[in-house]
Amino acid sequence: MKIVVGMSGGVDSSVAALLLKERGYDVVGVFMKNWEEKDASGLCTATEDYDDVRRVCDTIDIPYYTVNFAKEYYDSVFSFFLEEYKKGRTPNPDVMCNQEIKFKRFLDYSMNVVGGDYLATGHYAQIDFVNERYRLKRAFDHNKDQTYFLCQLGQKELADVIFPIGHLSKNEVRRIAVENNLATAKKKDSTGICFIGERNFTQFLSQYLPAQPGNIIDLAGNVKGTHQGLMYYTLGQRKGLGIGGQGTGEPWFVVHKDLDKNDLVVVQGDSHPALYSKSLEAADMNWVDGKAPANEFKCMAKFRYRQSDQGVVVRVTEDRLFVEFDESQKAVTPGQEVVLYQGNICLGGATIDSVEMI
């Protein structure tokens, strides 16, 4: 059985390839390049990552290739990313990358060009097969669980995918890499948005969207300062506003972006009611099982990655999802994903359109 492993140049995909090789599979490593540009220091991180892939594949003795999806990524993910920012929303390109690139175009490439029977990645997630249906389950290491970013996968994708490290903790993955002398054993985990990496986000975004400075105002319309451009801020943001020390001395938080007036609206204090909402409406819902559990049901939800589970009541219509929170939630942000869970099972996710304030 041939298994194609999506190799990122990180420790997780490296160990995934190693474990499959040790189990006796015919393993092929493929490095996927999604971004062509160099970072602020003039380095192309994709080149460095590919060098690490080469070293790891040589160590575990498997063939390796590279495929370039930079154009497809720009057309399907990055263009959408820019359009969402123009609308004042905060998109999640990692979710869309998994949906449109890794588990669509790359999966098709792995099956039909490389000739694989399965695609494996280094994601922290698990898959099982119950009652003739595939289920997407949280990883053993809940702190590293990545089902939030995989919420748009369905039965078709899960039938052809393997997550070899989903049952391991991150410490165990590191240990296996060290014991087998993999070049990525002590490599720092990547952070930030998938294609941007750790470069300055404001500087990066300004290359594609012209900044339009404007006023920072409170709910009464009083000017508190100036902003660099609405696209650089997200709901609930505290740092980088540059208006500390005013009023009560408590920190200020972003609660609204007025695109018509180009005003950034802020409130003072972590407990201000304008920061909190009681429900949301979402669209583009994906059910991992292919259908909703019921027209109305209770479950747990996350509105951002690494958030603890929140109790909700979900109501499903033909094309919309209405989610009522058991407890008011802070800074639920349009453009982000709401991901639903029952126990360790990820039911799916949808894109947040709007929220209802308390």
* Active site (catalytic) residues: 97, 194
Kindly report the backbone phi and psi dihedral angles of residue 267, in degrees, each rounded to the nearest multiple of 5, phi listed first. Answer: -130, 165
Structure tokens at 358: 């308390």
Which is it for strands 345-357 and 337-342: parallel, antiparallel or unpaired?
antiparallel
CB 136, CB 148: distance < 8 Å? no
Position of tokens 């060290």?
178
Which is it for strands 345-357 and 133-138: parallel, antiparallel or unpaired?
antiparallel
Kindly report the backbone phi and psi dihedral angles of residue 79, in degrees, each rounded to the nearest multiple of 5, phi listed first. Answer: -65, -40
CB 246, CB 224: distance < 8 Å? yes
Between the two ends of the chain, the Cα-to-Cα distance in Å is 55
SS3 203: helix
Instruction: Read off the DSSP letter of residue 309.
Output: P
CA gap 106, 216 in Å, rounded: 43
Position of tokens 């720009």?
74
